[in-house]
């Protein structure tokens, strides 16, 4: 029993084999059922017809014997053997009067029945039908008709045997064909498994499933799997780039701080020079602190860990405050004009929106030219709030425009300053959080305009 069980351990069988076995079994059972039903019905019909045939033959013979008796004519031999029916006539004592014992059947008592009886004789099955006839003067004879049932049913047995062989062949062929078809159909699944295994073993996310033409569900699954791999690969690459950029950005101020410390420790005796070094260290530390805080915010952004605190805010008031603060920090070399409509209200996260305003205005200062100008504008228009910062500074080259939203991206002229290239990605993320649209219009050497549109 345990051997039998282990042979058919379902959980160890492949899905293809399970499906093939199941359908082959169903087909086999169904075919056998139909064959059994057809055989039974045919046998029933055949036996009924055989019985009727026998009765008709005996009845026919009765008419012949009566007529011939009256006319004193002999009974022709052909009347005794018709279509497999054999007939003989016996006297009242059971002695043969006309013909031979049908099928050699002897010593079977005579019975007057309405329908033929079934008897076994010498291992074969027969129907016999006895009919008494009174032929006058109290003289009775028995007509006995017999027909071989075994002979008749052997034809059915032969056909059944042929059908069984045919069914067996159809079942085997359908099993083999079904398995081959499933094998072909399941190819994408095998490829998905092999690709996943390759990626797992070689950690190579660039691997893709080699999909042949096809539009069934498994091909769609393989295509989706490839798309998913492309997404994962690009996210993974971005993550790698981010980590490498972040460590690169942190390494620069750290090495400046270290070298300043070493220099101060070994070479500086003068207090003024020492103060200068400490100032530089402070500057680098501030840069690092800013970078770390931006990195922290970005990682919280990525992990969706920032809870938005949306509230109805007077943006005019908030923006005026930011402009004044920036003017104070940056000085008056660059002119900042405010074109702010009063009482522009919107449902925003105040802290994040302040960060967005500061970043865009600080950039307009940073990437401006000497004695440049900035125009900060805020308006309510068609149920929208439109905020923009325009400067007439350095501008951005057309080829750099799509990249400025990437993390750590800095246009060449912006390098070596105190920035990290994380400002605009953060601005974009804040705009997205508010379902706002952010756009930039810029021309190298002429200036840039950043616009945020919020829908109310
Ligand atoms: P950064 O920390 O370098 O300012 P940002 O993400 O804020 O990083 O900006 C990315 C790059 O876009 C900057 O390095 C700069 O070259 C360019 N940029 C941003 N704002 C302006 C602007 N108003 N004018 C010209 N270039 C700008």
State pLDDT tens for residues 358-411.
999 999 999 999 999 999 999 999 999 999 999 999 999 999 999 999 888 888
Distance separating alpha carbons of residues 62 and 98, to the nearest angstrom: 13
Looking only at the bridges linking them, the beta strands covering 373-381 and 335-340 are parallel
Specify the residue with its C-alpha closest to ligand 1, atom 20.
363
Asked if residue 16 lies in contact with residue 186, where contact means CB atoms within 8 angstroms, the answer is yes
* 291 Cβ below 6 A of ligand 1: no
Predicted confidence (pLDDT) at residue 72 exceeds the cutoff of 90: no
Asked if residue 396 lies in contact with residue 380, where contact means CB atoms within 8 angstroms, the answer is no
Q: Which two tokens stand for residue 424?
A: 């605009």
Predicted confidence (pLDDT) at residue 293 exceeds the cutoff of 70: yes
441 pLDDT band, cuts 50/70/90, is: very high
In which residue are the tokens 């002897």 written?
A: 106
* 368 Cβ below 6 A of ligand 1: no
* 424 Cβ below 6 A of ligand 1: yes
Q: Tell me, what's the pLDDT at 360?
A: 97
Asked if residue 98 lies in contact with residue 75, where contact means CB atoms within 8 angstroms, the answer is yes
Q: Looking at mean pLDDT, say which of 82-86, 184-188, 201-205, 433-437 comes out highest.
A: 433-437
Looking only at the bridges linking them, the beta strands covering 345-349 and 384-391 are unpaired
* 411 Cβ below 6 A of ligand 1: yes
Closest atom of ligand 1 to CA, residue 410: 14
Ligand 1 centre to CA of 83 (Å) is 109
3-class secondary structure, 52 = helix
Mean pLDDT over the full length of the chain: 88
Taking only the tens place, the pLDDT of each residue in 229-275 is: 999 888 888 888 888 888 888 888 899 899 999 998 888 888 888 89
pTM over 0.95: no
Phi, psi of 317 (to 5 degrees): -65, -45
Asked if residue 431 lies in contact with residue 412, where contact means CB atoms within 8 angstroms, the answer is no
* 414 Cβ below 6 A of ligand 1: yes
Ligand 1 centre to CA of 22 (Å) is 66
What residues contact residue 73 under an 8 Å CB cut-off, 6+ apart? 67
Best residue among 410, 430, 441, 444 to mutate for probing ligand 1, ranked by most atoms within 8 Å of CB: 410
């Amino acid at each position: 029993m345990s051997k039998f069980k282990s042979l058919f351990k379902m959980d160890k069988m492949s899905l293809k084999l399970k499906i093939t076995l199941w359908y082959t079994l169903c087909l086999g059972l169904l075919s056998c059922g139909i064959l059994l039903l057809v055989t039974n019905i045919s046998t029933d019909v055949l036996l009924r017809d055989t019985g009727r045939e026998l009765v008709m033959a005996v009845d026919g013979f009765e008419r012949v014997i009566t007529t011939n008796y009256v006319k004193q004519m002999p009974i022709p031999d052909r009347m005794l053997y018709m279509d497999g029916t054999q007939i003989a006539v016996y006297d009242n004592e059971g002695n043969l009067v006309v013909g031979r014992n049908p099928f050699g059947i002897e010593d079977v008592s005579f019975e007057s029945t309405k329908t033929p009886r079934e008897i076994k004789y010498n291992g074969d099955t027969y129907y016999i039908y006895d009919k008494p006839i009174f032929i006058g003067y109290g003289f009775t004879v028995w007509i006995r008709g017999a027909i071989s049932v075994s002979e008749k049913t052997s034809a059915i047995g032969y056909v059944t045997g042929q059908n069984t062989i045919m069914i067996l062949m159809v079942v085997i062929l359908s099993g083999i064909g079904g398995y081959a078809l499933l094998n072909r159909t399941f190819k994408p699944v095998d490829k998905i498994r092999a690709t996943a295994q390759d990626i797992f073993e070689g950690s190579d996310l660039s691997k893709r499933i080699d999909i042949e033409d096809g539009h069934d569900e498994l091909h769609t699954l393989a295509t989706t799997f490839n798309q998913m791999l492309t997404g994962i690969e690009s996210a993974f690459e971005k993550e790698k780039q981010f980590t490498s950029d972040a460590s690169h950005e942190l390494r620069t101020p750290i090495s400046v701080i270290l070298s300043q410390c070493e220099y101060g420790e070994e070479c500086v005796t003068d207090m003024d020079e020492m103060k200068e070094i400490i100032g530089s260290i402070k500057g680098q530390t501030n840069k690092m602190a800013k970078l770390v805080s931006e990195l922290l915010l970005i990682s919280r952004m990525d992990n969706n860990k920032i809870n938005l605190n949306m509230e109805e805010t007077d943006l005019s008031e908030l923006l005026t405050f930011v402009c004044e603060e920036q003017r104070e920090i940056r000085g008056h070399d660059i002119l900042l004009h405010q074109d702010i409509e009063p009482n522009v209200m919107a449902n925003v996260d105040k802290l994040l929106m302040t960060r967005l305003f500061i970043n865009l205005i600080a950039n307009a200062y940073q990437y401006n030219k000497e004695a440049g100008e900035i125009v900060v504008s805020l308006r309510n228009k068609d149920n929208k709030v439109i905020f923009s910062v325009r400067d007439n500074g350095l501008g951005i080259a057309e080829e750099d425009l799509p990249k400025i939203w990437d993390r750590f991206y800095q246009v060449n002229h912006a390098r070596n300053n105190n920035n990290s290239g994380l400002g605009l990605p953060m601005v974009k993320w804040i705009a997205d959080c508010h379902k706002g649209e952010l756009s930039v219009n810029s021309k190298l050497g002429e200036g840039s305009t950043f616009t945020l549109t919020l829908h109310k």
